Amino acid sequence: MAVKNVLFVSLIFFLSSVLEAQIFPGYFLHMDGAEPRFSQRLAWKGDGYTLRYEVVIEREEGEGYRPVRREFTNDSFLEVELAPGMYRFRVIPYDYLNRPGVGSEWVDIEVRSALQPELDAEEPEFISREDNALCELAVSGRNIDTNAEICLLRSDGEKIVPINVIVFAGSSGARLIYYKSALPEGVYDILVENPGGLTASRKGIVIAYPEPEPEIEPEPEPVKHQRLHSEYLLAAWMPLFPVYGEPFGLGQESMDAALTGAAFRFGILSTTFNPLNAGLELTCSWHAFGFDSKSQQTAAFGLNLVAEKKLSGQAAALRFRLGAGISMSMGEEKPDSMRDSFNTTMGVSFYLPVKKHFCTEIGIDYTHRFTDIPTGALKPWLGLGLQF
């Protein structure tokens, strides 16, 4: 590790009746030898009545000072080579009769060690920051001062100065931060200059920004198999309430309600229509009526068109029915008026799934039967069934 001595601080010059304060460089770097050599320069401004100057230099030791040098010069400066430490000096002018005049006040100076920076041979780490158009260059080495000037040099010698320099702990390297717009791709040299003028450099620093990664389209989600239809099978309790006519052909007695009744429904619904699903339904029903010693039963078979409207949540639904079928009368007495006949049906119901394959449905049908005495009846029903 090369260490040289250099005067870093500005000299605090003085005023006297003979000397005037003036700021001059405090150090010079000599490159005439095998290694760079520093000399400190103490400078002042005198007047035309001075023959020579006496310079007294003392070094701070403990609570006092020790004389280290006393020298005469005819110039208004003196070059010295001092070891690192705290010093003070004063200048005494001599007139043309070689008589000493009034000397200056003591001036404090500080001499610090100058470090020779070094850069490692490994390639600096280049980081491209896409978030805010910045990039970083991390270099490693030794003896890099926190006040060092670090920059990149283009092939034409132009300096590319970073917007920020962060020196690593232990002076082991530094991180340079640039705007990408100010640092185009290319080959650069890097230059490190410590306070005092000692430098280190390295050639062939390649700046290349990574190609933007192509956007990868997300893989389409696998298409879930969607059934185009659904089937259901229902068994229901269905009483009958006559509205007009004689549903059982037994006179006015048959206008009483028949609470004994059952129905079965099997349907297929297409699920490809919106907003209504549509399908077909096969139905059969049975009712029994008894009064005194008379009894009568009817059975009906039919085919319905079904339209289904899903409600919120796509679970519950309203179902509308319109259909036709055949009714048959059975029993001990079968009036001619109640022979097998044609009937039409319309109805509405509320469908609600209970579990994965179970459902319940409640509704009401209206049936008109075409007989010698036309009859009509309402058939409310409550059913349980399976949904496939």
User: What's the confidence (pLDDT) of residue 357?
Assistant: 84
For residues 102 and 196, the model is more confident at: 102
Average model confidence (pLDDT) across the chain:
81
Is 14:105 a contact under the CB 8 Å cutoff?
yes
Residue 16 in any domain: the answer is: yes
Q: Are residues 259 and 271 in the same domain?
A: yes
φ, ψ for residue 171 (rounded to 5)? 55, 35
List the CATH number of the domain containing 134. 2.60.40.10
Residue 219 in any domain: the answer is: no
Split at pLDDT 50, 70, 90, the class of 328 is confident
Residue 223 in any domain: the answer is: no
- Pick from 114, 129, 153: which residue ends a domain? 114
Q: Are residues 268 and 150 in the same domain?
A: no
Is 22:47 a contact under the CB 8 Å cutoff?
no
Q: What is the pLDDT of residues 104-138, one digit of tens each?
A: 899 888 887 777 888 888 788 888 776 668 888 88
Least confident of 41-50, 60-69, 134-143: 41-50
Q: Are residues 108 and 192 in the same domain?
A: no
Q: Are residues 198 and 296 in the same domain?
A: no
List the CATH number of the domain containing 273. 2.40.160.20
Q: Are residues 239 and 291 in the same domain?
A: yes
- Pick from 175, 207, 239: which residue ends a domain? 207
Q: Are residues 257 and 162 in the same domain?
A: no
User: What's the confidence (pLDDT) of residue 87?
Assistant: 92
Longest Cα–Cα distance in the chain: 167
Whether the predicted pLDDT of 282 surpasses 50? yes
Residue 127 in any domain: the answer is: yes
User: What's the confidence (pLDDT) of residue 302?
Assistant: 94
Residue 238 in any domain: the answer is: yes
For residues 81 and 89, the model is more confident at: 89
Q: Are residues 249 and 289 in the same domain?
A: yes
- Pick from 82, 114, 146: which residue ends a domain? 114
Is 320:310 a contact under the CB 8 Å cutoff?
no
Q: Are residues 256 and 296 in the same domain?
A: yes
Whether the predicted pLDDT of 314 surpasses 80? no
User: What's the confidence (pLDDT) of residue 64?
Assistant: 92
Q: What is the pLDDT of residues 35-59, one digit of tens each?
A: 556 678 888 887 778 899 999 999 9
Residue 334 in any domain: the answer is: yes
Q: Are residues 162 and 187 in the same domain?
A: yes
Exposed / middle / buried, residue 204 (Cβ in 10 Å: 0-12, 13-18, 19+): exposed
Q: Are residues 102 and 123 in the same domain?
A: no
Q: Are residues 251 and 271 in the same domain?
A: yes
Q: Residue 49: name the closest of 118, 103, 97, 110 by CA.
A: 97
Q: In angstroms, what CA-CA distances link 344 with 246, 341, 348, 369, 378?
A: 16, 10, 14, 7, 12
Is 215 strand, coil or helix?
coil
List all residues 6 or more positions away from 8 whose beta carbon is below 8 Å from its beta carbon.
26, 27, 110, 111, 112, 195, 196
- Token look-up 């179902």 returns 319
User: What's the confidence (pLDDT) of residue 22?
Assistant: 40
Domain holding 67, by residue range, is 3-114
Residues 303-326, mean pLDDT to the nearest whole number: 88
- Domains: count for the chain: 3
Whether the predicted pLDDT of 251 surpasses 80? no
φ, ψ for residue 251 (rounded to 5)? 75, -155
Q: Model's pTM, two decimal places?
A: 0.43
Whether the predicted pLDDT of 383 surpasses 80? yes
Residues 170-189, mean pLDDT to the nearest whole number: 88
Residue 217 in any domain: the answer is: no
Q: Are residues 288 and 352 in the same domain?
A: yes
Residue 224 in any domain: the answer is: no
